């Protein structure tokens, strides 16, 4: 908030991150006070907005709330819950970022045809110990699950929307599988169009121990220490919607349009998530394939790397994760690494 003394309803709605009609409703319930100009127009003071914000923050984790406060907070919750389905799974929201604690297969809070770019890394089905997801399905079930979320992503994208999918090239454990080729074919069968594939050289060449048949043609193993980023789009490759403003530098454009990217992977230990990708990956996808102000979705947001990249590049970021602990981790990373401030929050864990 700046130092302006009073705000119009529209400005107050923007500051609080709610609609003008919600402003009227919360005002009517006595949760927000306004003053009238001589011409009878409503104005809101900074103090009244601060007071309301404090009240709504406390809702997330009330510390010994008084009866009065509890009643007020319940009223706020009621107002939000009747307002719109949009808030249903909302875990966290600030001006440019939303995190939903939800299953991408069931989420109803995001409208179809509303997303400019999806950047994501889905579960690889390699027995990673996630909190809330079984990462060791049989391959057929894994492709069944993949088909379902790909369909959701397809529907959520605008007609000129794009998707950058970070997936493994193949699977070597428990039977060889052509994961990248299979997922690309599935996506195409659902209507996605193929654009290109970036090979990400993670530089994580660990000491090889599994060679299959050492120095023999009998059954050697071949392992590529790289991952793929498959670039797909919904209907048209040429972008028509959005601000038209690109923020990519000349050197970045030249380097990143060469489809072999070399940078290190991210440390699980440092991040506190079993499979994070480095922020560099979504940053490159976002700057190369979206305009400033575009809406970016990560349906498997994990530790929030995509949201950090959105925050740093002035895009609107929406993240979904089925696990509440990872939603909290994303939020904390935005606060600690992204420079997001508590006062930027709109609703914090209102349904947490
Ligand atoms: C590979 S990780 C994503 C990591 C992320 N790119 C990062 O940098 O932290 C996959 C994430 O998908 C989440 N997940 C699994 N199934 C899900 C589903 N059905 N809906 C939403 N999230 C899901 C897991 O909890 C996990 O955090």
Whether 59 is in a domain gets the answer yes
Helix (H) or strand (E) segment spanning residue 130 = none
Whether the per-residue pLDDT at 201 is higher than 70: the answer is: yes
Residue with CA nearest ligand 1 atom 17: 322
Strand blocks (E) in 85-172: 90-94, 97-101, 115-120, 157-168
Ligand 1 and 283: CB distance under 6 A: no
Whether 179 is in a domain gets the answer yes
Is 242 found in the same domain as 293? yes
- pLDDT tens per residue across span 238-251: 999 999 999 999 99
| 3 state SS for 292-309 | CCCEEEECCCCCCHHHHH
Ligand 1 and 303: CB distance under 6 A: yes
Give me the chain's average pLDDT, please: 86
Cα–ligand 1 centroid distance for 301 (angstroms): 5
Is 71 found in the same domain as 16? yes
Is 109 found in the same domain as 41? no
Determine the average pLDDT of the residues in 37-46.
79
Cα–ligand 1 centroid distance for 100 (angstroms): 12
CB atoms near residue 337 (< 10 Å): 15
Q: What's the rounded Cα separation, in Å, for the pair 177 and 170?
A: 6
Q: 302: burial class by Cβ within 10 Å (0-12, 13-18, 19+)?
A: buried
Alpha helices in the chain (DSSP H): 9-16, 20-28, 46-60, 67-83, 139-156, 179-189, 250-256, 268-271, 280-289, 305-312, 324-336
- With bands split at pLDDT 50, 70 and 90, how would you rate the model's confidence at 347? very low
Q: 183: burial class by Cβ within 10 Å (0-12, 13-18, 19+)?
A: buried
Whether 1 is in a domain gets the answer no
Report, in angstroms and rounded to the nearest whole number, the Rg of the chain calculated over CA atoms. Answer: 23
Q: Which of 83, 118, 142 is the last residue of a domain?
A: 83
Is 104 found in the same domain as 70? no
Give the pair of three-digit tokens for residue 99.
Answer: 């995190």
From 4, 51, 5, select the one nearest 27 (Cα to Cα). 51
Is 217 found in the same domain as 128? yes
Contacts of 320 (CB under 8 A, 6+ apart): 99, 100, 101, 102, 103, 104, 107, 297, 298, 299, 300, 301
- With bands split at pLDDT 50, 70 and 90, how would you rate the model's confidence at 1? very low
Determine the average pLDDT of the residues in 50-57.
70
Which residue reads 């994961």 in tokens? Answer: 179
Whether 237 is in a domain gets the answer yes
Whether 214 is in a domain gets the answer yes
Whether 337 is in a domain gets the answer yes
Q: At 160, which CATH number?
A: 3.40.50.150
Query: Contact at 8 Å (CB) between 343 and 138?
Result: no
Ligand 1 and 326: CB distance under 6 A: yes
Residue with CA nearest ligand 1 atom 27: 302
Q: What is the pLDDT of residue 60?
A: 40
State the residue range of the domain holding 188.
86-348
Determine the average pLDDT of the residues in 30-54.
79
Give the pair of three-digit tokens for residue 58.
Answer: 């406390």
Is 148 found in the same domain as 41? no
Query: Contact at 8 Å (CB) between 21 and 309?
Result: no
Query: Contact at 8 Å (CB) between 156 and 110?
Result: yes
Is 156 found in the same domain as 128? yes
Is 330 found in the same domain as 186? yes
Ligand 1 and 277: CB distance under 6 A: yes
Cα–ligand 1 centroid distance for 350 (angstroms): 22
Domain total in the chain: 2
Q: Which of 32, 58, 83 is the last residue of a domain?
A: 83
Q: What is the pLDDT of residue 152?
A: 98
**Residue, of 26 and 253, whose pLDDT is higher:** 253
Helix (H) or strand (E) segment spanning residue 192 = none
- pLDDT tens per residue across span 297-312: 999 999 999 999 999 9
Is 332 found in the same domain as 230? yes
* pTM of the full structure: 0.77
Alpha helices in 107-262 (DSSP H): 139-156, 179-189, 250-256
Is 97 found in the same domain as 68? no
Ligand 1 atom nearest to CA at 132: 25
Query: Contact at 8 Å (CB) between 133 and 146?
Result: no
Query: Phi, psi (5° rounding) for residue 159?
Result: -60, -35
Determine the average pLDDT of the residues in 9-21.
78
Q: What's the rounded Cα separation, in Å, for the pair 59 and 102?
A: 20
Whether 203 is in a domain gets the answer yes
Whether the per-residue pLDDT at 338 is higher than 90: the answer is: no
Residue with CA nearest ligand 1 atom 19: 103
From 280, 319, 317, select the one nearest 296 (Cα to Cα). 317
Determine the average pLDDT of the residues in 165-184.
92
- With bands split at pLDDT 50, 70 and 90, how would you rate the model's confidence at 30? confident
Q: Which of 50, 83, 116 is the last residue of a domain?
A: 83
Ligand 1 and 72: CB distance under 6 A: no
Q: At 15, which CATH number?
A: 1.10.1660.10
Q: What is the pLDDT of residue 98?
A: 96
Whether 17 is in a domain gets the answer yes
Give the pair of three-digit tokens for residue 322.
Answer: 């089925």
Is 67 found in the same domain as 110? no
Is 287 found in the same domain as 216? yes
């Amino acid at each position: 908030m700046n130092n302006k003394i009073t705000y119009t309803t529209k400005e107050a709605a923007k500051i609080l991150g709610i609609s003008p009609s919600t402003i009227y409703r919360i005002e009517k319930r006595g949760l927000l006070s306004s003053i009238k100009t001589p011409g009878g127009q409503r104005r809101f003071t900074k103090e009244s907005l601060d007071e309301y914000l404090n009240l709504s923050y406390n809702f997330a984790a009330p510390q010994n709330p008084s009866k009065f406060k509890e009643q007020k907070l319940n009223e706020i919750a009621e107002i939000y819950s009747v307002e719109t389905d949009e808030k249903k799974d909302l875990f966290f929201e600030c001006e440019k970022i939303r995190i939903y604690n939800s299953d991408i297969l069931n989420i109803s809070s995001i409208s179809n045809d509303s997303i400019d770019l999806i950047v994501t890394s889905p579960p690889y089905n390699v027995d990673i110990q996630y909190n809330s997801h079984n990462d060791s399905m049989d391959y057929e079930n894994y492709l069944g699950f993949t088909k379902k979320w790909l369909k959701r992503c397809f529907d959520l994208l605008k007609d000129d929307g794009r998707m950058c999918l970070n997936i493994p090239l193949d699977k070597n454990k428990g039977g060889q599988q052509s994961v990248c080729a299979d997922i690309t074919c599935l996506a195409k069968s659902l209507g996605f169009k193929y654009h290109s594939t970036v090979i990400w050289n993670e530089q994580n060449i660990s000491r090889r121990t599994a060679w299959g048949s050492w120095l023999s043609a009998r059954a050697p193993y071949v392992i590529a220490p790289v991952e793929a980023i498959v670039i797909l789009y919904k209907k048209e490759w040429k972008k028509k919607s959005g601000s038209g403003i690109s923020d990519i530098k000349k050197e970045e454009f030249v380097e990143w349009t060469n489809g072999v990217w070399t940078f290190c992977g991210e440390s699980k230990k440092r991040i506190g998530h079993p499979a994070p990708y480095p922020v560099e990956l979504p940053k490159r996808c976002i700057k190369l394939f979206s305009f400033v102000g575009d809406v970016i979705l990560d349906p498997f947001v994990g530790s929030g790397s995509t949201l950090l990249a959105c925050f740093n590049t002035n895009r609107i970021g929406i993240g979904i994760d089925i696990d509440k602990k990872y939603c909290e981790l994303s939020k904390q990373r935005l606060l600690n690494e992204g420079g997001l401030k508590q006062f930027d929050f709109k609703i914090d864990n209102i349904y947490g």
